A and B are shown apart, each in its own frame.
Chain A
Amino acid sequence: MNRLMTIAASICLLAACGEKPQTATGARSDAPAYTGTGKAFAEKNWKQGDKASWESQLKARGANSQNEYQRTN
């Protein structure tokens, strides 16, 4: 009985020396921005989830709001 208990205690002690698996792989992947937020508080000029409409909407927004030559000339 004593021998069994000693063996069990030894196994428990040695188990603490084991190496835990290191599974961390850095940053998680991110959902692409064109998939949208699924909420109403977003620009209405594109369809959430449609990459082409998201790209064209952003380009138009940037060009219209940042290029005053386009607006005044």
Chain B
Amino acid sequence: MARMKFICDAERCIECNGCVTACKNEHEVPWGVNRRRVVTLNDGIPGEKSISVACMHCSDAPCMAVCPVNCFYRTDEGVVLHDKDVCIGCGYCSYACPFGAPQFPAAGTFGVRGKMDKCTFCAGGPETNGSQAEFEKYGRNRLAEGKLPACAEMCSTKALLAGDGDMVADIFRTRVLKRGKGAEVWGWGTAYGSRQAGQPGAKAPEGAKS
């Protein structure tokens, strides 16, 4: 299996926030923490675009690089997870992340920043798969149940795709060929390091028609 990846199709996203609701409900995410959110570019202007943003589980994750206590790890499927028992809530990952994914619940009496929380690709954490401890710290482990992330499965227009990188890329490629536009995948190059059509410095492959 290739790596697990997210794709958000800006041509399809209708800013319904169904993905946000699905995530919050599935994992019982507390108030003030948004593992996923919908961002609208050029809001109110004709041609506005919306995208659903969360942790993209980057190939070369900056959060892993800057964490002073090495609380992050990557699963065999390429999902970037973290150990809340090790996290000290310093917030370095928040500064490093290009997607603003790390969230910090106000856990203390005086609003002290708690341990970092973020999208887990519905893959839980280092606790035993499907255990109550895992659910309370990281949410449901849908991958271990043979399911895909709730946000993508709930998406009404299938703008948000999640799963095996090859599979989601195939689906997106078919769409682009059918509609003849909207090949740009927001965040894909930043997260997975590949140049995409429409990005600065992108080159057409050898022999491709322009």
Spell out A's residues near B (CB within 8 Å): 24-39, 41-43, 45-46, 54-55, 57-59, 61-63, 65-69
Contact = CB atoms under 8 A, between A and B. Distances in A.
Nearest to A44: B146
A62 B146 contact: no
Contact of B167 (A24, A29, A62): A62
Interface stretch (B14-22, B51-59, B78-86, B193-201): B78-86
A39 B130 CA distance: 8
B69 to A, nearest CB: 7
Interface in B113-132: 123-126, 128-130
Contact of B126 (A30, A39, A45, A69): A30
21 contacts: A27-B72, A28-B86, A30-B81, A31-B128, A32-B75, A32-B76, A33-B75, A35-B129, A35-B144, A36-B129, A39-B130, A42-B147, A43-B146, A58-B146, A58-B148, A61-B147, A61-B163, A62-B162, A63-B167, A66-B168, A67-B171
Interface in B22-73: 69-73
A27 to B, nearest CB: 4
B126 A61 contact: no
Contact of B146 (A24, A54, A65, A68): A54
A46 to B, nearest CB: 5
B130 A38 contact: yes
A46 B175 CA distance: 29
Given A63-B167, A66-B168, A29 B126 contact: yes
B203 interface: no
B153 interface: yes
B168 to A, nearest CB: 7
A53 B141 CA distance: 18
Given A27-B70, A28-B86, A38-B130, 20 more contacts: A27-B126, A28-B83, A30-B125, A31-B128, A33-B77, A33-B123, A33-B141, A33-B144, A37-B130, A45-B146, A55-B1, A55-B164, A58-B143, A61-B146, A62-B162, A62-B167, A66-B158, A67-B170, A67-B171, A69-B174
B73 A27 contact: yes
Nearest to B143: A33
A58 B146 CA distance: 6
B181 interface: no
A54 B77 CA distance: 12
Contacts of A32: 75-76
Nearest to A39: B130
Nearest to A67: B171
Interface in B148-162: 148, 152-153, 158, 161-162
